[in-house]
Structure 1
């Protein structure tokens, strides 16, 4: 609930002419009471000082009804505010039934004046109603109106010149001679002491006892409880006279509707009505207009069918820097001010000390005392009546953080902004999909939390597998509660890692996804089927098949597989086929983990592999540098995918031999780009399909004097480039290193600058230790032809022509000891 400026307006409300103080006896005992209302209580949304003033004013005035700025369709939801399971911060969510993505929020914290007024009315049995423009109209506008969850742009529409937007607090602060409107507001309202004073340059403060918030002070306090709202009313009226609507013409429509609702309430309850609204609207509500004029402003407004409910909110979303202009830079601090009955600075420093101690920082009681003294001293030097957040933060930085902003950032995140997530009772209205999601969250013990947390899953466990399916289904529905993350060193397919963070906007995403079904399973299935029909690219269909397996959608998989088979049959681009195969191979592996039938998927994958084997060699010729690099990555991906297919339960017959033949063709053809030839040679060597001597021969040919240096450098990058063990290969096989060294020293000086970028890219990916070892080996020197001999004149070291089983068996006892396994010969003997 924002003011017309995005930052809420200052409190202030005129008492209607003729109002008089009379003594009455009510629920709170005898005391002065302002008669002849209505009482217009202008507030700053989410202001703890305004909230306390409202609480005191309601206790003193004891109105017969309370009216609050908000959508009137939510009147039926107001009793839920008294539910013991309702815990702020919460928000009213309104969305268009036919277009759930068109939504608005009215957030409320425990220190919001509106929330305080609602709870007071419910606790005292007083009728409470919302009086703002209905959500049915505000949602129908092209842009959400201010005060309904987002701010209207300052600029005009359709090329109109932008109208300046007025910030009432800034104008009042500058008028009072202050350059910091937030600090001025804190001094005037949020830090108002129990006994009134008049701060320099500011409006008069009322003598009001609001420390306990119940208005049960002495008679003088009761008589002055409404004075704060009168103190700034004249200033706000002057602002409206000077600036009109302040750059928000739609406010005239909202205020017309508020006046109509106020007239209706006065007919029902008389003048004993209290109105809690942004102070910017108070002059408009106090002005005299006719019912006909107000109705004329409302004539012809667009309208949609709206659904409303309560949803949890977070302190982080109340902060300006998180994207919602609610006018609260520090909701955690404001919540502390509202909750702290006395000594707010001392209690705040104690909180900060507890937080820092929990992070193993040495903070003692002496630090707390010194920080309090410093904050109070800074307030005195700066001419502030009480220490505010600025003084408290400066004191924490100097005393508890030793001048460092690193631990101070933690204080800002955890305390000044805060991580509080509200709760809403189950009885609150919700779309069926949201109810099913809530049930699943409880069954699987996945509690939504505002702060980000890591979740590691073992898919061999039934509960973790169900959690994985739920998170994948929500991602398919564009409900981004969880995002996949890198695991903790495990490469097994039975493990998954997630980062979970629940944001209030996800309730809108759930409402949008509700058009697909009433449960998470049926909605995800329906959306997957629709996506399969709409998929035009083969890669889209394969990615969707993978997501269906991850999400456990057996009913959607046949539809997706038919679409996949159709796209694969029509797509003749080898690059598209190469992009699609890895996802299918991963899906087959996931199917094994999740016990899913993947026979149809395996058949499509085998067909794609066959077509790639046929079409890849011709596609690797005539490429420029960028095209060659892209195809090199595709060759690597296909190689890994075929490895997964061969590791499956029923691999395609002869697939290994056909793929090896493709790699041999790529490695031997001069017309293939050097980076691809080098990578094909390396893949064959790593798989044991190419003898080491043959690999050395191919390298010698690629680095021969007749090969252009740029082509030779590209071959080297393909063979030993990246962080895939190429450096260690050169370290252990000095024959290959000698060939590279001999070629490099023979590159003409005029060509060296052309090949240097490729070489830097190749060798910069190696670990520092590998680069150092290679440098030491090169320092020994070479002999003609690239052969390398050590100081004793022995032959160069390299890999033998085959496996030396005797040397390998010698390692077995040590390896068995390291992994805790008995050697094979001991197991056979005993």
Structure 2
């Protein structure tokens, strides 16, 4: 194959998949040979799709996705990056109007044989036991195969005959295949034999059609097999009897992250971002790379200057010379970046690895590419809503009062119902208001398979999600599952699915005798009732079911709380908290509906009570403008009057009934106290009875956990109520030594949930002499920082800092005579 004349036999270009050096060499070899046809390792079903690679809107990385017709879950990918040799050969053939064919085993056989994600990987690693790339690197005296590959391939700049490297690789692969023999996985060897037999048949067909001057671009491991002489009969015998399936194939976007081995894709490359840079920057790659790194670090707030870039380049080149490498590679650049730009820290270096070395590039596929109706509907909606798929993680916030944001929310919720998790809901920064939603978006290539699977449910996102919701409602076996489904239907805006869901919900609610199941289902159902405010959904039927469910919970809850062990009691205590929030929310929703009877008075978004049952004390309600439209009596059905009172009566029974688990009794007492239904004197009385010597320490500790075990709010209750703190302190100091070890884990869990400042304050109060001791003079053992009154000199010490924070004029303007600050 040497010389200046074009070769008169097939040119076998053995490559490393996704190698920029191989891609440059392939382009140079094709320019040199000018073949009459180009044959590429890939599924032959894609021959009809090859022309799309020349479209302007086709931007790699992309992949061929093949799946069994009617079974999208049985799928396989063939990814291509911009620096993949196969992609380079494909684009060269299209640019020079040369026929191009794919010659690998058809996807119809691959999927029928049970092959999973089929990806052109580095064929120099064809067997799991022995990595030929590692063997060649070891023979050259290298410990790292990647470093050897960079030195002998990636750092070459096209000197000499462009075909010479392929001749050397073919000879090396031939020797390796002979030396390794049968070593390796037998199944993989058989699979390779089948693929190579089909490649030889396709090569013969191409030679008959286009002549001998054809070029073959395939994994280097296959080159010796394609060059050996085998009869047509032998190859056909190898392929005889292979199972076959009907498949569908198309182009889908891919990502650099999925090309990385770190993503679990074993045929990838460890640094696709770096390889892409090498392919795009044949001249001065190190200098350009360091400039990109500096730009990234500066954008993230790290002080990196042009001097850092110069020093980093010098250090990388020096390291390469010391290590005997022709040019600085990835290892040298990483070491230089760490030392010069990151001050020896791996924290900013991790950002460089994630954003640049691996990268989050997402490819694009033109509209002309074949796609399912569901895919086209999704593409249309995302363009309308300006939701662009991105490989990197992006957080966004939607204001549901705006039509566009509300439509985005519905689309993402519908996709989640179909199992397409493009977005993940996050806790909203706005607290518990319903008009704001936070999402974390990230498009992964696997979602294309999910989208193909979802096509069985319908041709549009809405119709598919509706059909899927109806199916889930019919198959649901628990009441909680159906109430959660109802909530998801309202979030997704699927009114056509609600009748089926409501019938299933009513049937299960009527037949389920388990109060725990009813209590578990109630919160999701009540949350769904709220969506009439923001999402303009008629939830009257849901409100009626929720009210009836709440009444059944009220009746059965005291009996359901009896006779529970510790784990069951903890679970039931969580149900009590959920019901408490649900009742508050249901009552507020009804009050909002009554207020809305006056057209000129807008309603406010109903806010549930805080998790500790405080009713959200201390928090401002959402303004009237926080909701899209006022709720109307037609949209919301009011629950029976006195709902709060009946729930308070249930809590009173739970708090005072002997024999119930201590955690539940303590929690009920706390909820009553926070709601103003229990006086402090009565709470003190209940605590005193429970913490008396007649109560087992474990039961008393469980009561304390239920009463104050709600994070910072429970701690603040003890901070401000010295009598309750005194009761807890007195009981704790009186626990017998033999019982203290048993209650210690429970108490640690209780008090560890308090905020650090709350724990510190409680400790200081106890240290000062215990609850009720009152202020003491400094010489009587007062803790540092505590005294009988205000120390003006120490208080004035904060004024300079306040001036810096607020501005001198602001502080001066707010000061009163004598230096006091309002």
TM-score (norm: length of structure 1): 0.85
Moved more, 540-549 or 353-362: 353-362
Confirm or deny that 1:176 pairs with 2:140: yes
1:660-679 superposed matches below 5 A: 660-679=648-667
Shift of 1:151: 11
Alpha-carbon distance in 2 for matches of 1:151, 1:598 = 59
Q: Select between 174-183 and 673-682 the one with higher mean Cα deviation.
A: 174-183
Q: Counterpart of 1:37 in 2: which secondary structure? A: coil
Contact 1:144/1:150, CA 8 A, preserved across alignment:
no
Correspondence 1:639 to 2:577: no
Is residue 421 of structure 1 aligned with residue 362 of structure 2? yes
CA distance in 1, matches of 2:103, 2:123: 19
Partner of 1:33: 5
| CA deviation profile, 1:636-685 (whole Å, cap 9, x unmatched) | 11111111111123122332222111111111111111111111111111
User: How far apart are residue 475 of structure 1 and its match?
Assistant: 0.5
- Counterpart residue number, 1:9: none
Secondary structure of 1:725 counterpart: helix
Q: How far, CA to CA, are the matches of 1:747 and 1:85 in structure 2?
A: 75
Q: Does 1:764 align with 2:752?
A: yes
Secondary structure of 1:142's partner? coil
Q: Deviations over 1:617-654 (max 9, x none)?
A: 11111222212111111111111111111112312233
Aligned to 1:323: 264
Q: Sort the Cα spacing of 1:781 and 1:349 in 2 relative to 1 into closer, same or farther, 3 A.
A: closer
What's the offset of the Cα at 1:257? 0.8
1:207-235 alpha-carbon deviations (Å, 9 max, x no partner): 2xxxxxxxxxxxxxxxx221111112111
* Structure 1 counterpart of 2:176, from 239, 243, 268: 239
Q: 1:776 to 1:397 in 2, by over 3 A?
A: closer
CA contact (8 A) 1:476 1:547 kept: yes
SS of 2:258's partner is helix
Give the one of 217, 221, 225 matched to 1:280: 221
Paired position in structure 1 for 2:686: 698
Q: Bigger CA drift: 603-612 or 439-448? A: 603-612
Assess, with a 3 A threshold, how the Cα gap between structure 1 residues 478 and 68 changes in structure 2: closer, same or farther: same
Q: 1-side partners of 2:648 and 2:343: how far apart?
A: 64
Shift of 1:415: 1.1
Q: Distance in 2 between matches of 1:422 and 1:345?
A: 25
Is residue 145–residue 250 contact of structure 1 (8 Å, CA) maintained in 2?
A: no
Partner of 1:70: 42
Counterparts of 2:681 and 2:125, CA distance in 1: 71
What is the deviation of 1:34? 2.7
Greater shift after overlay, 426-435 or 693-702? 693-702
Deviation by residue 1:410-448 (Cα, 9 ceiling, x = unmatched):
111111111211111000011111111111100000000
Q: 1:736 aligns with which of 721, 724, 730?
A: 724
Tell me if structure 1 keeps the 8 A contact 2:120–2:267. Answer: no
Is 1:189–2:153 an aligned residue pair? yes
Contact 2:17 2:123 in 1 (8 A): no
Aligned residue runs from structure 1 range 402-417, under 5 A: 402-417=343-358
Aligned-partner Cα distance in 2 for 1:468–1:60:
54
Candidates 121, 126, 140, aligned match of 2:112: 140
> Could you tell me whether the CA contact under 8 Å between 1:104 and 1:150 is conserved in 2?
no
C-alpha contact 2:109 2:244 (8 A) present in aligned 1 = yes
2 CA distance for matches of 1:682 and 1:538? 29
1:280 offset after TM fit, Å?
Answer: 0.6
Q: Is the 8 A contact 1:309 1:430 kept in 2?
A: yes
How many Å separate the matches in 2 of 1:420 and 1:569? 52
Q: Distance in 2 between matches of 1:778 and 1:472?
A: 51
Counterpart CA distance in 1 for 2:122 and 2:503 is 44
Equivalent pair of 2:77/2:117 in contact (CA under 8 Å): no
Give the structure 2 partner of residue 218 of structure 1.
Answer: none
Contact map agreement 1:138 1:145 (CA 8 A) in 2: no
Identify which of 69, 80, 87 aligns with 1:97: 69
Quote the Cα distance in structure 1 between the aligned partners of 2:272 and 2:120: 19
Structure 2 CA distance for partners of 1:230 and 1:536, relative to 1, 3 Å = same
Specify the alignment match of 2:383 in structure 1. Answer: 442
Once the two structures are TM-superposed, the CA of residue 194 in structure 1 deviates from its matched residue by 4.3
Q: Judge conservation of contact 1:75–1:129 (CA < 8 Å) in 2.
A: yes
Check conservation: 1:144, 1:152, Cα contact below 8 A. Answer: no
Verify the 8 A CA contact 2:123 2:220 in the aligned structure 1: no
Distance of 1:356 and 1:381 partners within structure 2: 27
The answer to whether the aligner puts 1:117 opposite 2:89 as a matched pair is yes
Deviations 1:108-156 (A, max 9, x none): 11111111111111111100110111111101112337546899999xx
For residues 431 and 513 of structure 1, do their structure 2 counterparts lie closer, same or farther at Cα, with a shift above 3 Å needed?
A: same
2:431 & 2:645 partners in 1: Cα distance?
31
2 CA distance for matches of 1:636 and 1:707? Answer: 25
Cα deviation for residue 697 of structure 1 reads 1.5
**Residue 464 of structure 1 is aligned with which of 395, 398, 405?**
405
Of 205, 229, 235, which aligns to 1:294? 235
CA separation in 1, counterparts of 2:554 and 2:441? 41
Q: How many pairs were matched up?
A: 726
Q: Distance in 2 between matches of 1:283 and 1:790?
A: 92
Which structure has more relative contact order (CA 8 Å, sep 6+)? It is: 1
User: Please, which runs of 5 or more residues in structure 2 have no aligned partner?
Assistant: 591-637, 778-822
Deviation at 1:401, TM superposition (A): 1.3
Q: Match of 1:167? A: 131
3-state SS of the aligned residue for 2:76? strand
- Quick one: which of 80, 84, 88 aligns to 2:60? 88
SS at match of 1:139: helix
The 2-side partners of 1:509 and 1:701 are apart by 59
Q: Tell me the SS of whatever aligns to 2:248.
A: strand
Distance between the aligned counterparts of 1:604 and 1:572, measured in 2? 15
Q: Which moved more, 1:275-284 or 1:591-600?
A: 591-600
Cα displacement (A) at 1:790: 5.5
Query: 1:791: how far off?
Result: 5.7
Q: Secondary structure at the match of 2:72?
A: strand
The CA distance in 1 between the partners of 2:158 and 2:500, in whole Å, is 70
Deviation per residue, 1:377-401 (Å, 9 max, x gap)? 1111111111111111111111111
Partner of 1:357: 298
Equivalence map 1:587-666=2 (5 Å)? 587-649=528-590, 650-666=638-654
* Aligned counterpart, 2:167: 230
Q: Is the 8 A contact 2:394 2:441 kept in 1?
A: yes
Task: Look up the SS of the partner of 1:232 in the other structure.
Answer: helix
- State the shift of 1:298 in Å: 1.1
1:432-511 to structure 2, matched below 5 A, reads 432-511=373-452
What is the CA-CA distance between 1:724 and the residue it aligns to? Answer: 5.3
Say if 2:23 and 2:84, in contact at 8 Å, map to a contact too.
yes
Aligned with 1:739: secondary structure?
Answer: helix
SS of 2:456's partner is helix
Of 710, 730, 753, 2:698 maps to 710
Shift of 1:591: 3.1
